[in-house]
């Protein structure tokens, strides 16, 4: 069959690499794709910000299935639009995707459905903000309501910093429309876990858990990013905790969304903080995580296509996935300046050598290809990902591979997975 994958990041490279292994896929397209994806799939140009452009491409290609990677097309209603045309598509509708696209929607939904999350206040004006902030102690978390590519969350250490952040977001200066509404949250402490489940609107099946590293610097220092690396091991979440999360988070979300007329199909990403008061939801994403998908796909032994079809056709069960007991680690190599202003167009060397390290696959995020050479084209450039029997061996392999890759300004964290190794 013919499959079209939408997106251009490291997540999409990992999905394309996995889908390519499906014996039932004869043609794989990725739109727009990137330099590395062009080795797994035929890349077709598309404007991810324009639903019209994606619809035009799909009308031309006539895929048997479309898999949507990033959140933006989901927010624009790609699933609703494709469904209207009768085209099979994987992911939630625009209404269901609000769990990610509006943090206030997600917070109010969790409150209604008694899903564990931090205390919060929703503010539409500076007056409301000034009034509400008094109820929180510092540090306090200030979030833009709308999509902000991982950059809409500020942990303010003082009330002054909180007030300045709130004012900047609400004025539209910081994030435009995304900040027109602001959510204030109690700051939670603990380990973060990304718990993803597959849903068909009624049933859920968990994927293996992963841990992202959001801050730019070693030891979780510096500003938040889209994610500087992730790892996945079977020790991250035991069976008992996984069952608890299914019962208290994942199933109540899927049942609640159905009961409220917004049936949720696709991947539901639950971002959790494991606090002393128990697990609490930090955020939902309505899609696979990036970079979590890279280590998660490295551990998937069964056919991803079968799982996606189970979601669309309403037959999700634990049998949709078979996982390796191995551990996996993804180290993101980023452009100089990321997550701030970056320079692109730098020549990348050493990818082939890195790919040759045992158990390693280099996933491309922001690369383009010209005359057989790769160049940087984004903030996160590569996700050097390794699999091995233990977490420390997987980390060693990933770092050995990363050391072989060079481009001007390249930087990466040296401690992906290190916190788990210390325990």
Interface positions with ligand AMP (CB under 6 A): 118, 141, 143, 153, 185, 187-188, 192, 214, 224, 271, 282-283
Q: Which of 35, 92, 206, 289 binds ligand GLY (CB under 6 A)?
A: 289
Question: If contact means CB under 5 to 8 A according to the sort of partner, which of ligand AMP, ligand GLY, none does residue 311 touch?
Answer: none
The Cα–Cα gap between 308 and 110 comes to 26
The packing angle between helices 126-133 and 159-170, to 10°, is 160
Residue with smallest beta-carbon separation from ligand GLY: 289
Residue 117 per-residue DSSP state:
B
Q: Considering the complex, what minimum distance in angstroms separates the CB of residue 142 from ligand GLY?
A: 18
Q: Which of 69, 227, 229, 339 binds ligand GLY (CB under 6 A)?
A: 227
**Please, where are the H alpha helices in 189-288?**
239-245, 251-259
Nearest one of 64, 1, 2, 53 to 31, comparing CA atoms: 53
Residue 374 per-residue DSSP state:
E
Name the residue nearer to ligand AMP (CB basis): 148 or 205: 148
Name the residue nearer to ligand AMP (CB basis): 136 or 407: 136
Name the residue nearer to ligand GLY (CB basis): 165 or 285: 285
Q: Considering the complex, what minimum distance in angstroms separates the CB of residue 187 from ligand AMP?
A: 4
Q: Considering the complex, what minimum distance in angstroms separates the CB of residue 287 from ligand GLY?
A: 8
Query: What distance lies between CA 61 and its chain's CA centroid?
Result: 27
Question: If contact means CB under 5 to 8 A according to the sort of partner, which of ligand AMP, ligand GLY, none does residue 153 touch?
Answer: ligand AMP
Distances from the Cα of 171 to the Cαs of 57, 85, 103, 155, 239, in angstroms? 37, 39, 18, 19, 46
Long-range contacts of 77-84 (CB under 8 A, 24+ apart): 77/51, 78/6, 78/51, 78/54, 79/266, 81/51, 81/55, 82/55, 82/58
Q: If binding is defined by CB under 6 A, does position 212 make contact with ligand GLY? A: yes
Name the residue nearer to ligand AMP (CB basis): 224 or 368: 224
Q: Considering the complex, what minimum distance in angstroms separates the CB of residue 129 from ligand GLY?
A: 25
Residue with smallest beta-carbon separation from ligand AMP: 283
Q: If binding is defined by CB under 6 A, does position 290 make contact with ligand GLY? A: yes
Q: Considering the complex, what minimum distance in angstroms separates the CB of residue 11 from ligand GLY?
A: 7
Question: If contact means CB under 5 to 8 A according to the sort of partner, which of ligand GLY, ligand AMP, none does residue 289 touch?
Answer: ligand GLY
Residue 322 per-residue DSSP state:
-
Q: Considering the complex, what minimum distance in angstroms separates the CB of residue 54 from ligand AMP?
A: 25
Q: Considering the complex, what minimum distance in angstroms separates the CB of residue 185 from ligand GLY?
A: 17
The Cα–Cα gap between 306 and 293 comes to 17
Strand order in the sheet with 265-275: 204-206, 191-200, 265-275, 278-285
Strand order in the sheet with 182-186: 120-123, 182-186, 140-144, 153-156
Question: If contact means CB under 5 to 8 A according to the sort of partner, which of ligand AMP, ligand GLY, none does residue 224 touch?
Answer: ligand AMP
Name the residue nearer to ligand GLY (CB basis): 285 or 367: 285
Which stretch of DSSP H or E encloses residue 346?
none
The Cα–Cα gap between 136 and 75 comes to 31
Q: Which of 8, 66, 285, 385 binds ligand GLY (CB under 6 A)?
A: 285
Question: If contact means CB under 5 to 8 A according to the sort of partner, which of ligand AMP, ligand GLY, none does residue 118 touch?
Answer: ligand AMP
| Beta-strand pair 204-206/191-200 | antiparallel
The Cα–Cα gap between 279 and 188 comes to 10
Name the residue nearer to ligand AMP (CB basis): 89 or 183: 183
- Residues 410, 339: contact at Cβ < 8 Å? no
By CB under 6 A, which span of 195-203, 246-254, 282-290, 361-369 interacts with ligand GLY? Answer: 282-290
Q: If binding is defined by CB under 6 A, does position 12 make contact with ligand GLY? A: no
Token pair 């140009």: residue: 45
Question: Which parts of this chain interact with ligand GLY (CB under 6 A)?
Answer: 150, 212, 227, 285, 289-290, 292
């Amino acid at each position: 069959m013919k499959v079209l994958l939408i997106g251009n990041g490291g997540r999409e490279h990992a999905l394309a690499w996995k889908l390519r292994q499906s014996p039932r896929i004869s043609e794989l397209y990725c739109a727009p794709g990137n330099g590395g994806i062009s080795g797994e799939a035929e890349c077709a140009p598309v404007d991810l910000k324009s639903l019209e452009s994606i619809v035009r491409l799909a009308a031309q290609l006539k895929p048997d299935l479309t898999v949507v990677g990033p959140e933006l097309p989901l927010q624009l209603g790609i699933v609703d639009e494709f469904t209207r045309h009768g085209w099979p598509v994987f992911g939630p509708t625009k209404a269901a995707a609000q769990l990610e696209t509006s943090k206030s929607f997600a917070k109010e939904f969790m409150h209604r459905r008694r899903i564990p999350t931090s205390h919060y206040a929703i503010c539409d004006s500076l007056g409301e903000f000034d009034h509400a902030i008094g109820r929180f102690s510092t540090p306090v978390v200030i979030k833009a309501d709308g999509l902000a590519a991982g950059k809409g969350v500020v942990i303010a250490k003082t009330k002054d910093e909180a007030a300045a952040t709130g004012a900047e977001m609400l004025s539209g200066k910081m994030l435009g429309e995304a900040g027109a509404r602001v959510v204030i949250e109690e700051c939670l402490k603990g380990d973060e876990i990304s718990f993803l489940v597959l849903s068909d609107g009624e049933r859920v099946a968990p994927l293996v858990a992963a841990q992202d590293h959001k801050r730019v610097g070693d030891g979780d220092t510096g500003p938040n990013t889209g994610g500087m690396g992730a790892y996945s091991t079977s020790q991250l979440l035991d069976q008992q905790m996984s069952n608890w999360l299914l019962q208290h988070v994942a199933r109540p979300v899927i049942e609640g969304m159905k009961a409220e007329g917004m049936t949720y199909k696709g991947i539901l990403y639950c971002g959790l903080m494991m606090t002393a008061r128990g697990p609490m939801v930090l955020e939902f994403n309505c899609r696979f995580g990036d970079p979590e998908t890279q280590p998660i796909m490295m551990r998937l032994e069964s056919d991803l296509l079968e799982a996606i079809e189970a979601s669309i056709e309403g037959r999700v069960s634990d049998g949709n996935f078979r996982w390796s007991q191995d551990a996996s680690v993804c180290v993101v190599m980023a452009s100089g300046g990321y997550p701030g202003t970056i320079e692109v167009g730098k020549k990348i060397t050493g990818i082939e050598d890195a790919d040759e390290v045992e158990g390693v696959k280099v996933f491309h995020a922001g690369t383009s290809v010209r005359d057989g050479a790769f160049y940087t084209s984004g903030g996160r450039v590569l996700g050097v990902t390794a699999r091995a029997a233990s977490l420390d061996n997987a980390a060693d392999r990933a770092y050995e591979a990363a050391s072989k890759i060079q481009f001007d300004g390249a930087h990466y964290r040296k401690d992906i997975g290190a916190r788990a190794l210390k325990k």
